A and B are shown apart, each in its own frame.
Chain A
Amino acid sequence: GENVEQHPSTLSVQEGDSAVIKCTYSDSASNYFPWYKQELGKRPQLIIDIRSNVGEKKDQRIAVTLNKTAKHFSLHITETQPEDSAVYFCAASRAGKSTFGDGTTLTVKP
């Protein structure tokens, strides 16, 4: 089955700095790669996603890149703010089934 590895497990940045979270996957047939933000005690919320036919996607301060050949994808957050502090999960999906990474706890220090 699919295996997704996510790094780092914790990330601390100063407000205004950039944050990068990386994921690798094993199943070359995976075609959809969502990223979720989860605040304490809340459900995962989709923040951005990318499909296998696209190399990069941007939405304001958030961007995602995908390298299909290397089977890795990354989340980039620029100009971080304290409200970006949360746990972020990547996932690799195929035919309706998703495999999730173990999460990255991002702390943005004011």
Chain B
Amino acid sequence: NAGVTQTPKFRVLKTGQSMTLLCAQDMNHEYMYWYRQDPGMGLRLIHYSVGEGTTAKGEVPDGYNVSRLKKQNFLLGLESAAPSQTSVYFCASSFPDRALIYEQYFGPGTRLTVT
């Protein structure tokens, strides 16, 4: 199993450009998440999905859109990139155990710089 993978690993964008980050998981997990991590801060939830075809806003959703057309993929889009979106982006997936505890599995991250 590859677990959770992210594409690309690094990207540099100019202000106003758009891009899509791809997250894929092969564990058949229902839940998927996008986080951003800025220096000196923990992970902040951007958007998440509780199943194919569903999405929901997290703590910092502004400037991002997501889609979950297939269960194994969760896409994060930036329509018009801004320097404030320079960050490391982590995707994660999870499933509930019998006690409805959701252990999250993280991807390797995408380092995005917006100039």
Where the two chains meet, the residues of A that have a C-beta atom closer than 8 Å to any C-beta of B are: 1, 4, 6, 9, 31-32, 34, 42-46, 49, 51, 89, 91, 93, 95-103
Contacts and interface: CB of A to CB of B under 8 A. Distances in A.
B71 to A, nearest CB: 15
Interface string B81-111: 0000000001000101001111110111100
Contacts of A49: 103
A96 B102 contact: yes
Given A46-B103, A96-B50, A102 B40 contact: yes
13 contacts: A1-B59, A43-B106, A96-B48, A96-B94, A96-B102, A97-B45, A97-B48, A97-B58, A98-B45, A98-B102, A101-B42, A102-B42, A103-B42
A94 to B, nearest CB: 9
A7 B48 CA distance: 27
Contacts, number: 56
Give the interface size class of chain B.
20 to 34
Nearest to B35: A100
A53 B42 CA distance: 26
